[in-house]
Structure formats: structure tokens, C-alpha cells
């Protein structure tokens, strides 16, 4: 059985919820990533997720100021998290049901990766080739 751990990206970029959206956009452009995991400020807090969809809504649709708004203002908090031992099939069903393109992967309460729908499909295409 293929698990989330087999497909996820372990090298995840994180950003403070207090960073500006300009800083987030700059980090995403420089590192060529489509999303950032928003750090927890305290151990009991939830992780967040900031991706193109949230930026499009906040910066373009709502005409938000990238220098005045913080990551916290635009990010999805809490992000949906899954355990790294969950099957990819179950993760894909969750993503499909809730129209998600990414899931934050945790072990216990610690960040261990990010699972993107593109990663699942790329892996599946490799298996079919």
C-alpha cells in the first residue's frame, strides 16, 4: 500500500503568520513553489497553508495591499492535516471530497511534509508508464 510518506515532499518551506504578503510572494517566486506552510506560533496552534488560490483571492479579487496584509490575513488556518502513514488513496479521496490541492503532513503534532495533488498524479503516471 502506497502511503502519504512515499509521495509527500519532505522539504517544506514555512513562513511566519506575521510576514507580509509581499515577503510570501517573494519567497514563493525565489524558491519556485506554489504554497507555503504557515508556522504555528505556539505548540497548541494549528498549521496554516498559503497558496496561489488564497493569494489570488486576497491580492487580486479583494485588491488587498501586499505590504499591509500579513500571511495570517490570507492563509487558510487551520490547514487540513494528515498523518504520513495514511494511504495515498484515502488522502486523494479527502482532497477530492473537499476540493483541496494540498494537505499538510504531520507526525504527532510536528510538520513532516506537504502532499500535493500534483505529486500523487505524477507518482501514479510513473507507475502506469
C-alpha cell of 66?
501586499
What is the pLDDT, as a whole number, of residue 38? 98
Give mean pLDDT, residues 5-30.
96
* DSSP SS3 for 71: helix
Residue 62 has pLDDT above 90, yes or no: no
Q: How confident is the model at residue 69 (pLDDT cuts 50, 70, 90)?
A: very high
What is the pLDDT, as a whole number, of residue 96? 96
Entry pTM: 0.90
Lowest mean pLDDT among 34-43, 90-99, 120-129: 120-129
Residue 64 has pLDDT above 90, yes or no: no
The alpha carbon of residue 49 and the mean position of all alpha carbons in its chain are separated, in whole angstroms, by: 5
Amino acid at each position: 500500500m502506497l502511503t502519504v510518506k512515499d509521495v509527500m515532499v519532505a522539504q517544506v518551506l514555512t513562513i511566519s503568520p506575521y510576514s507580509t504578503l509581499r515577503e510570501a510572494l517573494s519567497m514563493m517566486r525565489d524558491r519556485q513553489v506554489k504554497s507555503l506552510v504557515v508556522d504555528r506560533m505556539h505548540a497548541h496552534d494549528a498549521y496554516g497553508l498559503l497558496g496561489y488560490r488564497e493569494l489570488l483571492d486576497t491580492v487580486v479579487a479583494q485588491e488587498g495591499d501586499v505590504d499591509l496584509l500579513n500571511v495570517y490575513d490570507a492563509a487558510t488556518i487551520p490547514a487540513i492535516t494528515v498523518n504520513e502513514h495514511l494511504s495515498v488513496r484515502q488522502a486523494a479521496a479527502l482532497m477530492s471530497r473537499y476540493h483541496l490541492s494540498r494537505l499538510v503532513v504531520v507526525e504527532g503534532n510536528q510538520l513532516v511534509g506537504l502532499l500535493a495533488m500534483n505529486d500523487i498524479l505524477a507518482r501514479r503516471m510513473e507507475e502506469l508508464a
